[in-house]
Amino acid sequence: MDNDDILKLENQLCFSVYAASRAITKIYRPFLDKLGITYPQYLVMLILWEDETITLKDLCKKLYLDSGTLTPLLKRLESMELIKRVRSMEDERILCVSLAEKGRAMKTEAIKVPECVLGTINADVAFLANLKGEVDKLLKDIKE
């Protein structure tokens, strides 16, 4: 690759990952609209459906986001009565986020989302699983 080619948009890994991420998020939109949540809110709910309760610090780590980005999103989920935010009794500096009953009940509908999304992507499931593994490895390598 010569010097001029290195700056072409079509040769940028970052753009391919960015564009694919936006396209995938767009596929999720109609399914998440039925649940009344956005894609970032869905990511929070996925974690809570798995863990039930998590500290804000750990939630930030899992989502690769800072608390300033997550706090407004969590406030919105709380106003929708999907989650609860409570300060730790042992240490008030620690904020715990947990599922509210309405959020727990939403899981029944949300369980259909991944299958619906897969049904709209024109790619082999094995290919997608392999791609996810490769992207996860890349993310791990970047974070180290």
Read off the pLDDT of residues 97-138 as tens digits, 9 standing for 90 and up.
Answer: 999 999 999 999 999 999 999 999 988 999 999 999 999 999
Q: 130 and 82, same structural domain?
A: no
The token duo for 4 is 């001029």
Return the residue matching tokens 């919105």: 76
Q: 144 and 91, same structural domain?
A: no
Q: 49 and 88, same structural domain?
A: yes
Q: Is 65 helix (H, G, I), strand (E, B) or coil?
A: coil
Q: 63 and 77, same structural domain?
A: yes
Q: What b/e string do you get for 82-117 counting C-beta neighbours within 10 Å, with b at 16 or more?
A: bbbeeeeeeeeeebbbebbeebbebeeebeebeeee
Q: 31 and 1, same structural domain?
A: yes
What is the reported pLDDT for 89?
A: 87
User: Per-residue pLDDT for 3 more than 90?
Assistant: no
Q: 67 and 125, same structural domain?
A: no
Q: 31 and 50, same structural domain?
A: no
Range of the domain at 127: 1-35+112-144
Alpha carbon distance 123, 7 (integer Å)? 29
Average pLDDT value for residue range 44-64: 96
Q: 53 and 30, same structural domain?
A: no
For every residue of 95-126, DSSP letters joined together read EEEEE-HHHHHHHHHHTTHHHHHHHHS-S-HH
The token duo for 38 is 């956005």
Q: 71 and 87, same structural domain?
A: yes
The token duo for 59 is 């939630």
Q: What is the mean pLDDT of the chain?
A: 95
Average pLDDT value for residue range 9-32: 96
Q: Give how many domains the chain has, as a whole number.
A: 2
Q: 98 and 54, same structural domain?
A: yes
Q: 91 and 50, same structural domain?
A: yes
Average pLDDT value for residue range 72-83: 98
